[in-house]
Amino acid sequence: MSKAPSTTRQMATWLLICAAMVFAMVLLGGATRLTESGLSMVEWKPLTFTPPLSAEAWNAAFEAYKTSPEFQKENSWMELADFKQIYWLEYLHRLWGRLIGIAFAGPFAWFLYKRAVDRPLAWRLGVLFVLGGAQGALGWFMVASGLVDRPDVSQYRLAAHLVTALVLYAALIWTALDLFARLNPPPARTDHGFARLTLGVALAVLFVMGSGAFVAGLDAGLIYNTFPLMDGRVIPPDLYPTGARSAFEDIKTVQFNHRVLAIGLVALVIFTWVRARRVSLDERARKLVHALFAVAIAQASLGISTLLTVVKLEVALSHQAVALTLFTLALCLAHTARTSHAAPALSLKPAE
């Protein structure tokens, strides 16, 4: 008897576990940013898994940190005990990234050894592995930008780091759903317009989260902490003072753009929810549409709360977690709408 169905299910489950680990990784990165812990480790050392284990090692790590702009310009008051508090979160963030690599590479090598996948799927998984490694390198490239002159990372590199993580997360989710779709093909449907709309929603969520990275990178959430007015107006004065670059470098403009994009996203989700009422959907797709609508409203509320509380840690982390949840639902809905009329061209070899 062929073992292909059970192998397919195992691979899909494995990819979802990896996706869940990336989900946690993004939240760890957010916590690291919000607590200003990300520059506590001034060396990369990608093959190192253990933290300082002796007083001598801790002192060496602290002395290395003292050479950084962050210590010299902002944290010169710190003692070793204070340094340890910010070190541990960044260490956990990096360690978790390495564990994701192991969690992906081990089963991937096993499935290849068992010849359980054909060449196209093997190449697809290989690209995911390379993307994960590139994400780690990009993370260090981001940190390095805060170790030269200014005690903060480049908002451009921060946004690139986050968006790459989200693309990796989306690819893991999508590939897992492709595999599950081979086991349980959804009922046929021909509304290609709705399928394109749901894909647009997923891309819009990604775009808005990317704009949020610029808000985080510039600490733009710490000012203009009112809503719906900003600087006393619906449309504040002095937007785009330096032209197009202001969209990425001017604090007021960056925050305003994120507000507008977030409102636009909610409007798009509402439109999708209304449009879904006129489309023949299976029960799974209809539940996803309702969940997307509810989570979008919750996310907007959390975004406003994050602003009004001046980026309170637990509120801001909840805002990021719900954004990832919204992205996940959008991906699942887009995949369901697409595969309902075009099953993915993936194939698996029977496991030996």
In the chain, what are the helix, strand and coil shares in percent, each to the nearest 5?
A: 70, 0, 25
Close Cβ partners of 284 (under 8 Å, ≥ 6 residues apart): 186, 336
Tokens 């933290």 belong to residue:
51
233: helix, coil or strand?
strand
Gap between the Cα atoms of 19 and 228, Å rounded: 35
279 band by pLDDT with thresholds 50, 70 and 90: confident
Structure tokens at 230: 């900003």
Gap between the Cα atoms of 115 and 347, Å rounded: 12
Q: What would the pLDDT profile of 120-162 be if each residue is shown by its tens digit? A: 889 999 999 999 999 989 999 999 999 988 888 999 999 999 9
Q: Does a cis peptide bond (omega within 30 degrees of 0) precede residue 228?
A: yes
Say if residues 249 and 215 touch (Cβ distance below 8 Å). Answer: no
Domain boundary assignment for the chain: 1-184, 187-343
Question: Residue 35: exposed, middle, or buried by beta-carbon count in 10 A (0-12, 13-18, 19+)?
Answer: middle
Tell me 349's DSSP state. P
Question: Residue 56: exposed, middle, or buried by beta-carbon count in 10 A (0-12, 13-18, 19+)?
Answer: exposed
Say if residues 124 and 175 touch (Cβ distance below 8 Å). Answer: yes
Handedness of CA 58, 63, 68, 70 (dihedral sign): positive
Phi, psi of 166 (to 5 degrees): -70, -35
2 or 91: which carries more pLDDT confidence? 91
Is the per-residue pLDDT at 245 higher than 80?
Answer: yes
Q: What would the pLDDT profile of 73-125 be if each residue is shown by its tens digit? A: 999 999 999 999 999 999 999 999 999 999 999 999 999 998 888 888 899 99
Q: Which residues pair with 208 in a beta bridge?
A: none
DSSP per-residue string spanning 190-228 = --HHHHHHHHHHHHHHHHHHHHHHHHHHTTGGGS---SS
**Predicted pLDDT of residue 344:** 41
Is the per-residue pLDDT at 28 higher than 90?
Answer: yes
DSSP per-residue string spanning 101-118 = HHHHHHHHHHHHHTT-B-
Q: What is the mean pLDDT of residues 206-234?
A: 95
Say if residues 39 and 154 touch (Cβ distance below 8 Å). Answer: no
Evaluate if pTM is beyond 0.75. yes
DSSP per-residue string spanning 270-298 = HHHHHHHTTS---HHHHHHHHHHHHHHHH
DSSP per-residue string spanning 15-71 = HHHHHHHHHHHHHHHHHHHHTT-TTS-----TT------SHHHHHHHHHHHHTSHHH
Length of the chain (residues):
352
Say if residues 187 and 226 touch (Cβ distance below 8 Å). Answer: no
Angle between helices 313-339 and 4-34 (to 10 degrees): 150
